[in-house]
Amino acid sequence: MKKYDYILVGSGLFAGVFAWYAKQHHKTCLVLEKRDHIGGNLYCEDIAGIHVHKYGAHIFHTSNKRVWDFVNSLAEFNRYTNSPMAYYKGEMYNMPFNMNTFHKLWGVCTPKEAMEKIQEQRAGIQGEPRNLEEQAISLVGRDIYERLIKGYTEKQWGRDCKDLPSFIIRRLPVRYIYDNNYFNDRYQGIPIGGYNVLIDQLFQGCEIRTKTDFLDNREYYVSLGEKIVYTGTIDGYFHYQFGNLEYRSLRFETELLDEPNYQGNAVVNYTEREIPYTRIIEHKHFEFGTQEKTVITREYPEEWKPGMEPYYPVNDEKNAELYAKYAKLAQKESNVIFGGRLAEYKYYDMDKVIESAMVCAEAEFAEEG
């Protein structure tokens, strides 16, 4: 008999959802987290009464009713709707690309006029777009590509738009209505009281050890549990034997300001190449805060190097091939469940991670009913 039913490596959403199911089935879990807090990238730090999204702005959105009901059973969500603004050379534009953006840019008033303008500007692109630049021009025309996409994207990904896959830009809606909602999903919001409320609910009843890296002492931790749920990097688990998977990293610069309202919106994107950060987040606006002070964070994309925080997987061919090799090894590890954005090397939104953890936990506990 081992001491715990499960050893959960990492304390992000994947591990949290698994822990919640484990508790329903009266299983014991030990959570190992190498950071000094739980919650993975959802973690919020309290500064002057404001919940600061320490690892980048997180807005919950989903069309999956089961996922929405699940998170709402654990925390109440507010009605926040993400409507970022884009700043380019002293002008403000509405995001995502919609009639407000087209009107501001070209003075057009109707969808028909906007479509004609875009049609005119995409004339040069023939056939299937072969890269992000062609995809962007074909979706929204050259003016928007040059002002709102090119600079931001090249800062974010550290490479030319011609060398990036087109799917990255297809995440963004293009709408011929006056609607600044960044997401198309049916449900959206931020947990009232911040994400830590949700996280604490998910891990309730678990034994938690922070500042603990599973890989530093793996034989010992394996000896403690019947099974491992591993949500760290998959290449790290296998000692980087085929080489490192690549990521894009980020650096956050956070400031507490002695004023109540710095930019009038939670998210402002800076789309000029010359400004080194991609966006400024003003955290209080996620929860309609009325504090006297405000906290802002500038987000600088960075080239990732081993040892740095891995944020975005680089889903190009080279990394996909490398990941496939590690995934093959993972299949042979019978006592380990690999899940989440680092172990699956996937650009996962929160709702998708929850969904995937639900499926995994339901399969795991299926026999017990």
Residues forming the active site:
171, 175, 248, 279, 299, 347, 349
Q: Verify binding: residue 355, ligand FAD, rule CB under 6 A.
A: no
What is the number of other CB atoms lying within 10 angstroms of the CB of residue 1?
3
**C-beta of 83: minimal distance to ligand UDP in Å?**
12
Residue in the structure block whose two tokens are 């600088």: 300
Closest CA to 225 of 32, 361, 17, 14: 32
| Alpha-carbon gap, residue 298 to 267, rounded angstroms | 10
Per CB under 6 A, which of residues 11..50 are in contact with ligand FAD?
A: 11-15, 32-35, 40-42
| Alpha-carbon gap, residue 227 to 273, rounded angstroms | 48
**C-beta of 97: minimal distance to ligand UDP in Å?**
9
x-or-dash string of contact with ligand FAD, 213-232, rule CB under 6 A: xxx---------------xx
User: What does residue 171 show for φ and ψ, rounded to 5 degrees?
Assistant: -65, -30
Q: Which of 172, 198, 229, 266 binds ligand UDP (CB under 6 A)?
A: 172
x-or-dash string of contact with ligand UDP, 293-322, rule CB under 6 A: ------------------------------
| Contact window for ligand UDP (CB under 6 A) among 151-159, 246-254, 256-264, 317-325 | 151-159
Q: Verify binding: residue 54, ligand FAD, rule CB under 6 A.
A: no
| Alpha-carbon gap, residue 107 to 308, rounded angstroms | 45
Strand ranges, E, within the chain? 4-9, 29-32, 44-47, 50-53, 60-62, 85-88, 91-94, 187-189, 207-209, 225-230, 247-257, 267-270, 279-282, 294-303, 312-313, 336-338
Beta-bridge mates of residue 279: 269, 299
Give the residue with the Cβ less far from ligand UDP, 5 or 185.
185
Q: Which of 93, 340, 355, 361 binds ligand FAD (CB under 6 A)?
A: 340
Binding site for ligand UDP (CB under 6 A): 86, 95, 148-149, 152-153, 156, 168-169, 171-172, 269, 271
